[in-house]
Structure 1
Amino acid sequence: MSDAAPKLATPTDLKTNQARDVAAALNGILADSYALYLKTKNFHWHVSGPHFRDYHLLFDEQAAQILGTTDQIAERVRKIGGTTLRSIGDISRRQTIDDNDRGFVSAKDMLKELRDDNLALVEQLRAAKDLADTAKDNATSAIIDEWTDAAEQRAWFLFESAQNG
């Protein structure tokens, strides 16, 4: 009995190499989305201090938003003929957003780290949009705009929440 599975064949009019490049970029974004989701939940669970309630709720809202994009990203990869993440190990190999396993992180540092991570995700999204535009993958390009706007909004909220005054 062979372990070789039949190859997935999804119909697409995109050129194979271009679709492969877009799928690879989206899989990187998906891995970082999972890494950012878990870090945001980690901070949600472990935040403390005078603004506990506000930050606790903010982190929970943002984590839910991030998790909500993961299925869209994975399904977009499949629609253009690619395959997507299969395990935590696969995520770990592809993620560029660093985990935070420290025993204590100040609320101020949490806000800054999540802001920076969301802005890094925005950079990845812009690069993926360029690939999608080159591939004439209009649907991916359009939905990336939505994900970019959401990540920018998260970064903005995190930035403003960290302001003194």
Structure 2
Amino acid sequence: MTNASPAPVATPTDLDESATMTVADALKIILANSYAVYLKTKNFHWHVSGPYFRDYHLLLDEQAAEILAVTDAIAERARKTGNRTLTSIGDIARHQTIIDNDAEIVTPQDMLAELRADNLHMVEAFRRAKEVADEAKDNATSGLIDTWTDEAERRAWFLFEASRPA
């Protein structure tokens, strides 16, 4: 195995090669973060308990499915620009900026707060990636990022509202 960066794939594109590599690097971070938040959301979905179990269980399952659904679009966007994407769990760990939670017990309120913060962290990463895409004149990636940003903001909002006292 080698750690050398492979050459870009000869995918037809009119985008500048060095710019697409920068966009691909930003996409790797948001893809890794998406997997990290997906897994954390599923973990909390599996382990939530308490009086609001059903509501939280369903909310977290819905959000996990939404996050997982976007991963393919992120990876395919990198490939469409002639670049490579993540290849393994180790590759995800090297690129993620979301902190894992390995605690065996997390209160439902702490789960919601942590996932809210993680989704807002993803929003920040999306905004940085959008700046990179805009600088590269990669309007397709930039447009996709707008949708992903809106979805992450929506998840953060739902988590915030669900965690407010009655």
> TM-score range, shorter-chain basis?
over 0.9
What are the within-5 Å matches in structure 2 for residues 22-101 of structure 1? 22-101=23-102
Task: Report how many aligned residue pairs link the two structures.
Answer: 162
Q: Conserved in 1, the CA contact under 8 Å of 2:78 and 2:85?
A: yes
What are the within-5 Å matches in structure 2 for residues 133-148 of structure 1? 133-148=134-149
CA RMSD, Structure 1 to Structure 2 (Å): 1.4
Q: CA deviation at 1:15?
A: 1.0
Q: CA deviation at 1:8?
A: 2.4
Q: Conserved in 1, the CA contact under 8 Å of 2:27 and 2:78?
A: yes
Letter aligned with residue 98 of structure 2: I
1:98-154 Cα deviation digits (max 9, x unpaired): 111101000000000000000000000001001111111010000100000000000
Letter aligned with residue 132 of structure 2: L
Q: Which residue of 2 is the match for residue 129 of structure 1?
A: 130
Q: Which ranges in structure 1 are unaligned for 5 or more consecutive residues?
A: none
Tell me the TM-score normalised to structure 2 length: 0.95
* Aligned-partner Cα distance in 2 for 1:156–1:61: 14
* Aligned-partner Cα distance in 2 for 1:137–1:7: 16
Q: Which residue of 1 is the match for residue 120 of structure 2?
A: 119
